[in-house]
Amino acid sequence: MSCKESELWYNAMKDEMSSMRCNDVWDLVEFPNGAKAIGYKWVFKTKKDSLGNIERYKVRLVAKGFTRKVGIDYTKTFFHVSKKDYLCIILALVAHFDLELQ
Protein backbone atom coordinates (compact mmCIF):
# COMPACT_ATOMS: atom_id res chain seq x y z
CA MET A 1 0.00 0.00 0.00
CA SER A 2 1.35 3.37 -0.88
CA CYS A 3 -1.17 5.81 0.62
CA LYS A 4 -0.33 8.00 3.59
CA GLU A 5 -2.62 5.92 5.84
CA SER A 6 -1.01 2.62 4.85
CA GLU A 7 0.34 1.93 8.33
CA LEU A 8 -3.11 2.50 9.86
CA TRP A 9 -4.70 0.11 7.33
CA TYR A 10 -1.95 -2.46 7.92
CA ASN A 11 -2.55 -2.32 11.69
CA ALA A 12 -6.30 -2.77 11.10
CA MET A 13 -5.53 -5.85 8.97
CA LYS A 14 -3.36 -7.27 11.76
CA ASP A 15 -6.16 -6.62 14.26
CA GLU A 16 -8.64 -8.49 12.04
CA MET A 17 -6.33 -11.50 11.70
CA SER A 18 -5.69 -11.50 15.45
CA SER A 19 -9.43 -11.37 16.14
CA MET A 20 -10.06 -14.28 13.76
CA ARG A 21 -7.37 -16.37 15.48
CA CYS A 22 -8.72 -15.57 18.97
CA ASN A 23 -12.28 -16.48 17.94
CA ASP A 24 -11.27 -19.75 16.22
CA VAL A 25 -12.87 -18.64 12.96
CA TRP A 26 -11.24 -21.40 10.93
CA ASP A 27 -9.53 -24.77 11.19
CA LEU A 28 -6.58 -25.88 9.11
CA VAL A 29 -7.55 -29.07 7.26
CA GLU A 30 -6.22 -31.21 4.44
CA PHE A 31 -7.35 -29.86 1.08
CA PRO A 32 -9.24 -32.61 -0.82
CA ASN A 33 -8.01 -33.59 -4.28
CA GLY A 34 -9.99 -31.89 -7.02
CA ALA A 35 -11.47 -29.32 -4.66
CA LYS A 36 -11.47 -25.65 -5.54
CA ALA A 37 -10.68 -23.12 -2.83
CA ILE A 38 -13.00 -20.19 -2.22
CA GLY A 39 -11.26 -16.89 -2.77
CA TYR A 40 -11.21 -14.01 -0.32
CA LYS A 41 -10.86 -10.27 -0.31
CA TRP A 42 -10.16 -7.50 2.14
CA VAL A 43 -12.93 -4.93 2.70
CA PHE A 44 -11.70 -1.54 3.92
CA LYS A 45 -13.94 0.98 5.67
CA THR A 46 -13.44 4.03 7.84
CA LYS A 47 -15.64 4.65 10.87
CA LYS A 48 -16.43 8.33 11.35
CA ASP A 49 -17.75 10.37 14.25
CA SER A 50 -20.74 12.75 14.06
CA LEU A 51 -18.51 15.50 12.65
CA GLY A 52 -17.17 13.32 9.85
CA ASN A 53 -13.72 12.85 11.37
CA ILE A 54 -12.19 9.39 11.01
CA GLU A 55 -12.40 7.54 14.33
CA ARG A 56 -10.94 4.26 13.21
CA TYR A 57 -9.88 2.18 10.24
CA LYS A 58 -11.85 -1.05 10.00
CA VAL A 59 -10.89 -4.02 7.84
CA ARG A 60 -12.74 -7.30 7.27
CA LEU A 61 -11.53 -10.45 5.56
CA VAL A 62 -14.44 -11.98 3.66
CA ALA A 63 -14.89 -15.17 1.64
CA LYS A 64 -16.06 -14.77 -1.96
CA GLY A 65 -18.70 -17.49 -1.70
CA PHE A 66 -20.61 -15.97 -4.61
CA THR A 67 -18.03 -17.46 -7.00
CA ARG A 68 -19.15 -21.02 -6.24
CA LYS A 69 -21.31 -22.86 -8.77
CA VAL A 70 -24.12 -25.30 -7.89
CA GLY A 71 -23.29 -28.85 -8.96
CA ILE A 72 -19.63 -28.01 -9.53
CA ASP A 73 -18.34 -26.56 -6.25
CA TYR A 74 -21.16 -27.86 -4.06
CA THR A 75 -24.31 -29.95 -4.28
CA LYS A 76 -26.12 -29.33 -1.01
CA THR A 77 -27.52 -26.11 0.35
CA PHE A 78 -28.57 -25.41 3.91
CA PHE A 79 -30.32 -22.74 5.91
CA HIS A 80 -28.55 -21.10 8.88
CA VAL A 81 -31.39 -21.13 11.38
CA SER A 82 -31.27 -22.80 14.74
CA LYS A 83 -33.99 -25.28 15.63
CA LYS A 84 -35.27 -22.91 18.32
CA ASP A 85 -35.67 -20.04 15.84
CA TYR A 86 -37.36 -22.35 13.36
CA LEU A 87 -39.84 -23.52 16.00
CA CYS A 88 -40.64 -19.94 17.04
CA ILE A 89 -41.39 -19.01 13.42
CA ILE A 90 -43.71 -21.99 13.00
CA LEU A 91 -45.56 -21.20 16.24
CA ALA A 92 -45.89 -17.53 15.28
CA LEU A 93 -47.38 -18.49 11.90
CA VAL A 94 -49.80 -20.93 13.54
CA ALA A 95 -50.97 -18.23 15.98
CA HIS A 96 -51.19 -15.51 13.32
CA PHE A 97 -53.29 -17.55 10.90
CA ASP A 98 -55.30 -19.21 13.71
CA LEU A 99 -54.21 -22.68 12.59
CA GLU A 100 -54.13 -25.94 14.52
CA LEU A 101 -50.83 -27.70 15.08
CA GLN A 102 -50.71 -31.49 15.42
DSSP the chain: --STTHHHHHHHHHHHHHHHHHTT-----PPPTT-----EEEEEEEEE-TTS-EEEEEEEEEE-GGG--BTTTBS-------HHHHHHHHHHHHHHTT----
pLDDT tens digits, 6-64: 999 999 999 999 999 999 988 888 888 877 788 899 999 999 999 999 999 999 999 88
Q: What pLDDT band is residue 73 in, cutting at 50, 70 and 90?
A: low
Please tell me the predicted confidence (pLDDT) of residue 72.
Answer: 61
**pTM attached to this predicted model:** 0.59
